[in-house]
Amino acid sequence: MPSQSKRSRVSESPPDEGRNVDEDAYSQWLWVNENRVGLAKEYAGRWIAVCDRRVVGVGISLATALKQAVKKGYMHPFVTGFVRRETQDIQRVAHWI
């Protein structure tokens, strides 16, 4: 079984220093990184939208997770997707929108 760091594609590295990422977005990334194991188990096979250090949208598609977040008033959440458990809970992608 791969080690924890080998199973995570994105969560081990912060955004590039050259990118203009505000402190709030970076804070959301840190929260996801700190909680990635539990989040991967709970949200395997789904996308999540994160704001204020909590999940504010969930869906099988990115669009669904974003729609839920926007409906709650979060216009620019941090979003990430987790593949299903059968594929070792790898964090698939992360974006600032």
Number of other residues whose CB lies within 10 A of the CB of residue 20: 7
| Cα–Cα nearest to 14, from 38, 1, 33 | 33
Phi/psi of residue 83, nearest 5 degrees? -75, 165
Give start and end residues of each alpha helix (H) in 1-97: 4-7, 23-34, 36-42, 62-71
How confident is the model at residue 87, as a pLDDT? Answer: 52
Q: Evaluate whether residue 54 is within a structural domain.
A: yes
Domain membership of residue 35 as a residue range: 22-96
List the structure tokens of 80.
């990430």
Q: Evaluate whether residue 55 is within a structural domain.
A: yes
Q: Evaluate whether residue 82 is within a structural domain.
A: yes
Residue 5: pLDDT over 50: no
Q: Evaluate whether residue 7 is within a structural domain.
A: no
Give the pLDDT confidence of 6-45 residue by residue, as tens digits: 333 444 455 555 555 677 788 898 999 999 999 999 999 9
Give the pLDDT confidence of 57-88 residue by residue, as tens digits: 999 999 999 999 999 999 989 999 987 755 54
Q: Evaluate whether residue 10 is within a structural domain.
A: no
pTM above 0.85, yes or no: no
